[in-house]
Amino acid sequence: MVSGISLSSLSTANLAGLINAVPVELNGLAPIARAILRLNFDNIYHSPWYVGIIGLILISLGVCTFKRVIPARLPPLRPVTVDKIPLHDTFEVEASAPSVRRRLAELLSARGWRIRERLFGGVEWSFADRHDWARRGVLVAHSGFVIIAAGTTLYWARGFAGEFAVVTGQMQQVERTHALIRLDDFAYKISPIMTKSGMVYQPVDYVSKVTVTGNDGVAKRYTVRVNHPINVDGTLYYQASYGFGMRFRVTHYGQVDPSLSARTLLEGDSFDLPGTQRSVLYERFAPTIDRQSGMPTADPRVNNPAVVLGASQAGNTLGEALVPLGQAIDLGGGWRVVPKQYVLYSGFQYRNDPGVPLVGIGAFVLLAGLIISFYFLPARLYLRVDEITPGRARVGAAATTVKGYDVFADEFGRVAAALRGELGTPAAIE
Amino acid sequence: MSLPADELLIAIALIAYTLGALALLVYFFSRTPWLVKVGAPLAIAGCAAQFIQLVVRYETTHVWPLLNLYGSLSLFTAMSVAIFIGFAFRYRLWFAGGFVLALAAIFLAYAVTWYEGTMPPVPSLQSYWAKIHVPIVVSSYAAFLVAFVFSCIYLIKYYGERSVAGVEPRAAVARWLAALPSLPQLDVIVYRAVAIGLPLISVGIITGAMWAKEAWGAYWQWDPKETAALFSWIIYLAYMHLHTRHAWRGLRTSWVSVIGFLSIIFCYLGVNIWISGLHSYKI
């Protein structure tokens, strides 16, 4: 097997000796590839199982909302057994029951509680609610999820995305939008920085200067940077990558092949040698070759560059070689290739997403719901005032919240103490 | 040899946290009141030194200081201590300060090992979102650290009380456990810390998605960091949902909080350090 031959063994450019080597067997991977395609792993977000999972999550959310959240968060007003609720207090007051009820309502209203009175089986109950509106916080949060799902579904149904690369000085028509994009110039900036661990080549900037002709037919100039996409007719174009296109001088027994020599290959492109089953793959560009070792360095700036070429015979990989610019490589059968000139190309992504506003609204609603749920504590006081004897009443008070009892225990203690204190003086009531 | 101001401030913070942790850990076991008067000012001093250090670093380098592991861990420790200080003053919780400060000291010392000097940010990090998304996410991690510490104390108290019940020779341990807040009180503290962290991490994920949309063209790409953050978010969301169930509140939710923080550490450090992806910003 010759696959995986190290660059060091091939630093002298000559692939001819590899042409008849044993090919690499890739057929064993075919079932995996078929499985990936059948399961739609090549396009996950449009696959039935992915959409199915999202659907199940939404169904679960809906069932949970209506079966659990609404009954638990929005309970009806109903009588309770006061002393069976963990937060409860009972005390007696020297006053008539109606006056105690009136005074309780006044006291709690003054503290921001909303008072409602109901009659159950001849017994008058008072219900005091605080932050009652916040009981809907979870519903708001769940609604946010649904809106986000609607936004992403809109993208799924109507949006599109893709990517393309343009070589400096050339023009490309974007498949989905039909916009024409010409790359006027591409530049990158890399700063070599000596850190405590050694030299680091930090990329600082990637800039594409483009001329774009959109639906209006007018060519406009733009600058595209990372974090600064451009918007053309509602589609956003992003700076995604860059690379080095390469022009080769391809000769057969010394005669230049004009067709192959005129092409600009991007990294990953290949060409076939006419009359043979051999292909040459332009694997990648090596910007800087160490002059002493002849090996690529970590420096991404162009200084003594080379290219990595791969060769294959009838689809079977034969090997690869590091070929400095200007040097020839013998491919056998009279074919020779010289990496002649590099040219920068810029890679772009584009995306048209009509669901963005909905997703934004959904995110805001979701956050609002979370904040309402976490930072407001809806609580309900159940108040029952019974006349024990004329002029003497017993007050029973209990409290529930949507987050259990412990979180409200201290506050209930303070409320109960305040009620006791305020109602304790008969003069204050009558 | 003189240290630059920012390195000096980090050293001060590290020393303050270490000494403060020692004082408050001794207080945790001995309940000697004057130790709080030593530990609390040290915590405040260390925290203040860290925030000043971040400002000094930004002013001197003009590079947003949170774009690498050194800077973000520095904010993480500072915010952890700041949130704890807030809790400690509000709910009188200095007894737990030793654990928070010890963790802060460990994380800060680890942060220093990633210090490589000043680097200009890579293009994808050159965005105003860096000043919104990163502090929010790191602050959520800090809140979860505080929740983690109180969850551990809850579990210590819960299992400790079960093991010493009715065993006379361990009466001193029982008295010490009794001096801690009650289990429901500890549970409420954990809940309140998570109630700070969960909205923050939610905002952090949303702002991260918005930034990703601007930088890479997609809200979500199932990058390891995104996936890990979503996993952590789901754990804490589960915590909140389970906390509404009486049977789950307390012991089980404390375990969920512990697991949640472990997932946060994986999301924060594991993904940054061990897994390559769009968020592999170490130095």
Residue A127 vs residue A33, higher pLDDT: A127
Hey, of B112, B122, B133, B242, which one would you mutate to test binding to chain A, going by the most A CBs within 10 A of its CB? B122
Among chain B residues, the shortest Cα distance to A152 is held by B219
Contact yes or no for A197 and B243 at CB 8 A: no
Measured CB to CB, residues of chain A less than 8 Å from chain B are 72, 161, 191, 193, 195-197, 200, 202-206, 225-227, 229, 236, 238-240, 349-351, 356, 359, 363, 366-367, 370-371, 373-375, 402-404, 406-407, 409
- Band of pLDDT at residue B276, cut at 50, 70 and 90: low
- Band of pLDDT at residue A27, cut at 50, 70 and 90: low
Residue A21 vs residue A47, higher pLDDT: A47
Q: What is the ipTM of this complex?
A: 0.76
Among chain A residues, the shortest Cα distance to B194 is held by A374
Predicted pLDDT of residue A4: 32
- Give the β-pairing of A270-272 and A264-265: unpaired
pLDDT tens, residue by residue, A356-384: 899 999 999 999 998 898 889 999 999 99
CA of A115: how far to CAs of A106, A289, A384, A398, in Å?
9, 82, 13, 14
Domain boundaries, chain B: 1-120, 125-283
- Band of pLDDT at residue A45, cut at 50, 70 and 90: low
Among chain B residues, the shortest Cα distance to A161 is held by B217
Among chain B residues, the shortest Cα distance to A375 is held by B195
Contact yes or no for B215 and A227 at CB 8 A: yes
Predicted pLDDT of residue B3: 66
Task: Using a pLDDT cut of 90, give the percent of chain A over it.
Answer: 52
CB nearest B123 (choices: A72, A227, A404): A227
Among chain A residues, the shortest Cα distance to B115 is held by A196
Residue A25 confidence (pLDDT) above 60 = no
pLDDT tens, residue by residue, B120-152: 888 888 899 999 999 999 999 999 999 999 999
- Band of pLDDT at residue B280, cut at 50, 70 and 90: low
pLDDT tens, residue by residue, B237-251: 999 888 888 888 899
Give the whole-angstrom CA distance, residue B14 versus residue B25. 16
- Band of pLDDT at residue B61, cut at 50, 70 and 90: confident
Residue B41 confidence (pLDDT) above 90 = yes
The region of weakest confidence among A41-45, A402-406, B213-217 is A41-45
Residue A1 confidence (pLDDT) above 50 = no
Residue B234 vs residue B218, higher pLDDT: B234
- Band of pLDDT at residue B166, cut at 50, 70 and 90: low
Return all residues near A231 (Cβ < 8 A) that are at least 6 apart.
A237
Give the whole-angstrom CA distance, residue B46 versus residue B20. 9
Tokens of B171: 């009466």
Residue A108 confidence (pLDDT) above 90 = yes
Q: What is the average per-residue pLDDT within B43-47? A: 96
Tell me the sheet residues that pair with A245.
A343
CB count within 10 Å of CB B210 equals: 18
Collapsed DSSP state (helix, strand, coil) of residue A317 = strand
CA of A308: how far to CAs of A274, A324, A338, in Å?
21, 9, 12
Residue B79 vs residue A314, higher pLDDT: B79
Among chain A residues, the shortest Cα distance to B244 is held by A403
Q: Whole-number mean pLDDT of chain B? A: 90
The region of weakest confidence among A28-37, A40-49, A352-361 is A40-49
Predicted pLDDT of residue B167: 65
Min Cα distance B218 → chain A (Å) is 8
- Band of pLDDT at residue B170, cut at 50, 70 and 90: low
Percentages helix, strand, coil for chain A (3-state, rounded to 5) are: 35, 40, 25
Contact yes or no for A195 and B283 at CB 8 A: yes
Tokens of A335: 């074919």
Return all residues near A208 (Cβ < 8 A) that are at least 6 apart.
A183, A185, A186, A223, A224, A225, A239, A346, A348
Closest CA to A125 of A152, A159, A101: A101
pLDDT tens, residue by residue, A214-238: 999 999 999 999 989 999 999 999 9
Contacts of B216 in chain A (CB under 8 A): 238, 240, 349
Task: Number of A to B CB contacts under 8 A, please give it.
Answer: 93
| Token pair 């400060």: residue | B101
- What chain A holds in terms of domains, given with CATH numbers, is 7-38+161-352 (no CATH), 74-131+377-429 (3.30.310.80)
Collapsed DSSP state (helix, strand, coil) of residue A380 = strand
Contacts of A401 in chain B (CB under 8 A): none
Residue A23 confidence (pLDDT) above 50 = no
Residue A19 confidence (pLDDT) above 60 = no
Predicted pLDDT of residue A427: 42
Contacts of B119 in chain A (CB under 8 A): 193, 195, 200, 202
CB nearest B187 (choices: A205, A375, A406): A406
Q: Whole-number mean pLDDT of chain A? A: 86
Predicted pLDDT of residue A5: 31
pLDDT tens, residue by residue, B1-25: 456 888 899 999 999 999 999 999 9
Contacts of A203 in chain B (CB under 8 A): 122-123
Predicted pLDDT of residue A396: 93
Contacts of A366 in chain B (CB under 8 A): 202, 206
- Band of pLDDT at residue A331, cut at 50, 70 and 90: confident
Contact yes or no for B188 and A238 at CB 8 A: no
Q: What is the average per-residue pLDDT within A61-76? A: 85
Contact yes or no for A227 and B203 at CB 8 A: no
- Estimate the crossing angle of helix B251-265 against helix B183-216, to 10 degrees: 30
Predicted pLDDT of residue A57: 85
Task: Using a pLDDT cut of 90, give the percent of chain B over it.
Answer: 62
Contacts of A142 in chain B (CB under 8 A): none
CB nearest A191 (choices: B116, B120, B198): B120
pLDDT tens, residue by residue, A159-173: 998 999 999 999 999
Predicted pLDDT of residue A342: 93
Contact yes or no for A375 and B283 at CB 8 A: no
The region of weakest confidence among A14-23, A119-128, A139-148 is A14-23
Predicted pLDDT of residue A79: 93
Which contacts of A282-291 are long-range, i.e. CB under 8 A and separated by 24 or more positions? A282/A246, A282/A248, A282/A307, A282/A309, A283/A307, A283/A308, A283/A309, A283/A310, A283/A320, A284/A308, A285/A243, A285/A244, A285/A246, A285/A342, A286/A322, A287/A244, A289/A322, A289/A324
Predicted pLDDT of residue B50: 95
Residue A15 confidence (pLDDT) above 60 = no
Give the whole-angstrom CA distance, residue B21 versus residue A118. 56
Q: What is the pTM of this model?
A: 0.79
Residue A29 confidence (pLDDT) above 50 = yes
Give the whole-angstrom CA distance, residue A227 versus residue A242. 15
Contact yes or no for A366 and B202 at CB 8 A: yes
Predicted pLDDT of residue B278: 60
Contacts of B243 in chain A (CB under 8 A): 403-404
Tell me the sheet residues that pair with A330.
A14, A336
Predicted pLDDT of residue A261: 92
Residue A247 confidence (pLDDT) above 90 = yes
Predicted pLDDT of residue B54: 93
Q: What is the average per-residue pLDDT within A93-98? A: 90
CB nearest B214 (choices: A229, A370, A407): A229
Give the whole-angstrom CA distance, residue B261 versus residue A58. 27
Predicted pLDDT of residue A21: 38
- Band of pLDDT at residue B261, cut at 50, 70 and 90: very high
Min Cα distance A292 → chain B (Å) is 29
Q: What is the average per-residue pLDDT within B152-169? A: 84
Among chain B residues, the shortest Cα distance to A352 is held by B217
Predicted pLDDT of residue A17: 42
Predicted pLDDT of residue A32: 83
Predicted pLDDT of residue B274: 75
